[in-house]
Structure 1
Amino acid sequence: MSQSLERGLTVLGALGDGPQTLDGLATAAGVHKSTALRLLRTLEANRFVRREGAHHYRLGSALFDLANRALEDVDVRDAARGPIRELAENTGHTIHVAVQEGDEVVYVDKVDSRHAVRMYSRVGRHVPLHCTAVGKALVAECPPAVREQLAHRIEYPRMTASTVGSAPEFLAELDRVRQRGFAVDRGEHEDFIHCIAAPVRDGSGEVVAAVSLSVPQVLLDIDGLLALVDDLLRTTGQVSAELGGRHEPTNGEEDR
């Protein structure tokens, strides 16, 4: 990667955390202010950056346009739009649609909870595979060799006291997900949030996305959340049907 491109991407990444000063962006990119200013002028000319005042910057409209185009190319987003809104209306809780991107998960759509207490997330956010229900649902049905390779490749940052911490633990959890037909996050990513997720399949039967239902524990305990599994599975079945696939019934009624 060229040095200028790498620095420009670093600047955009820093702006993703919110508006920044010229000094702050120069520090983030590890360059002199004059070099940072040249980068910013190029980005501003192409609408990737917008200047506010003398030396304050924020992300520009071109970046949002590109992001929306990229997300619109994910067919599952269109297929899921109606079903996930119906699920959100029926349950009142936060719904996510996620896809795998490398060794992480990225949210491609979301419907917010109608409750005042809710989890923080956003479309485009990347989260780990090993401690999220969507991550487990996405990789549980990969071929065994792929699961093994992935489990031994990824890192296992401990997000909470409940986070899976090793490849053997993760593989055992994926086996449970395969048996049940859905995944559970019991406060593993955020200790005050628990989630359930199920896979979405295309016409070839391949898992192409996952849909999750996330609830703060103060609003609903784990038994109440698991009581919503059938609603979740109906939703993923509808989305799969839109993509030409079919929903596989769960084998894990005893685990609910």
Structure 2
Amino acid sequence: MSQSLARALDVLDLVSRGVRTLDALAAEVGVHKSTVLRLLQTLEERGFVRRDSGHRYHVGPAVFGLAATALDAQDVRAAASPALRALAAETGQTVHLATYQDGVVSYVDKVESRQPLRMYSRIGLPAPLNATAVGKVLLAGLDEDERRRVVAATPFERFTDRTLTTPESLLDEVRRSAERGWAEDHEEHETFMNCVGAPVYGPDGRVAAAVSVSVPNVVLPYQDVLALVPALLAATARISAELGGSAPVAAPTSTQERTTA
């Protein structure tokens, strides 16, 4: 860990414990006031500390937001765990749980398949918005303005010949995914892998997470992966109920419909 980062974390910890003034913080950390001031200015710019009218420092809103996000993700993971493991056992395939925060979709849980061929994914890693089923599901759960803002900032890295590489194509696919209630990754991130994903709803009726089933195409052909959608939707419905949420009522759409990239 770098010395500056370590000192910044020490300063933040001290502020959280009630050390309020620049002089007191410098004395506790054991460095010159100018060094602590630079650290405080950076923390204040990022919202991790705030300064009141008396030039005393307090924990900032970013800390509470970070804690709330972590708790929310942990709550979703705990609620989803039994259904994820049951879905993996039923299908024999890799199952992911992902959440969204500030333009980033991250994997928060994973149940490995019984297959020897494994995905690159790992808990804590981000999922590309333009090339994963969970990314499309979570984009579909955003308000229209935020969705367009996030898509406009997406780097659109091309992973395979099927990867969506423009904002318009991604927004169209997200819209289709929202209408039918599930999304797909048809060899868009890895040439040998197909995935289907569906939303988990929280008590506020909004999308709280996404669950996906990922299958190597040497194990199941594309159409057979689509046939796993009913089991996936049953699992996400159980998780939503565990969280106190439920999916909105929508007209059923055939899982045999193939989307265009």
Task: State the match for 2:87 in structure 1.
Answer: 87
Aligned length: 195
**Distance in 1 of aligned mates of 2:92 and 2:234:** 16
Amino acid corresponding to residue 207 of structure 1 in structure 2: V
SS of aligned partner of 2:218: coil
* Secondary structure, aligned partner of 1:239: helix
1:30-81, Cα deviation, whole Å (9 max, x unpaired): xxxxxxxxxxxxxxxxxxxxxxxxxxxxxxxxxxxxxxxx579621000000
The match for 1:225 is 225
1:103 CA displacement: 2.4
- Show the counterpart of 1:78: 78
1:203 aligns with: 203
Question: In the aligned structure 2, how far is the partner of 1:194 from the partner of 1:109?
Answer: 19
Partner of 1:161: 161
- Paired residues for 1:25-40 under 5 Å: none
Task: Report deviation, 1:125.
Answer: 1.3
User: Following TM superposition, by how much is the alpha carbon of 1:121 offset from its aligned partner in structure 2, in angstroms?
Assistant: 1.8
Residues 1:215 and 1:250: Cα distance change in structure 2 (over 3 Å)? farther
CA distance in 1, matches of 2:72, 2:252: 34
Structure 2 residue runs of 5 or longer lacking an equivalent are: 10-69, 257-261
Give runs of aligned pairs for residues 177-216 of structure 1, distance below 5 A: 177-216=177-216
Structure 2 counterparts to residues 112-151 of structure 1, below 5 A: 112-151=112-151
Change (3 A) 1:123 1:8: farther
Q: 1:147 to 1:6 in 2, by over 3 A?
A: farther
Secondary structure at the aligned position of 1:171 is classed as helix
- 1:102 is displaced (CA, Å) by 2.6
Partner-residue secondary structure (3-state), 2:189: coil
- Post-superposition CA distance 1:160-194 (Å, at most 9, x none): 11111011111101111011100000011111111
Kindly indicate whether the alpha-carbon contact (under 8 Å) linking 2:73 and 2:108 is maintained by their aligned counterparts in 1. no
Q: Structure 1 residue 129: deviation in Å?
A: 1.1
AA of the residue aligned to 1:92 = G
Distance 1:227-1:8 versus aligned 2 partners, 3 A rule: farther
* 1: CA distance, partners of 2:73 / 2:123: 14
TM-score by structure 1 length?
Answer: 0.71
Partner of 1:22: none
Aligned partners of 1:130, 1:187: CA distance in 2, in Å?
12
TM-score, structure 2 as length reference: 0.69
1:8 and 1:158, CA in 2 relative to 1: closer, same or farther beyond 3 A? farther
Contact conserved, 1:177 with 1:183, CA < 8 A, in 2?
yes
Larger radius of gyration: 2
Aligned-CA RMSD value:
2.3
In structure 1, the gaps of 5 or more residues are: 10-69
CA offsets 1:142-167 (integer angstroms, 9 cap, x no match)? 22222222221221111111111011
- Say which SS state the counterpart of residue 84 (structure 1) adopts: helix
Going from structure 1 to structure 2, the CA distance change for 1:92 and 1:129 (only over 3 Å counts) comes to: same
Equivalent residues of 2:105, 2:129 under 8 A apart:
yes
What is the distance in 1 between the residues matched to 2:254 and 2:146? 28
Three-state SS of the structure 2 residue aligned to 1:126 is coil
Q: Aligned partner of 1:197: which letter?
A: G
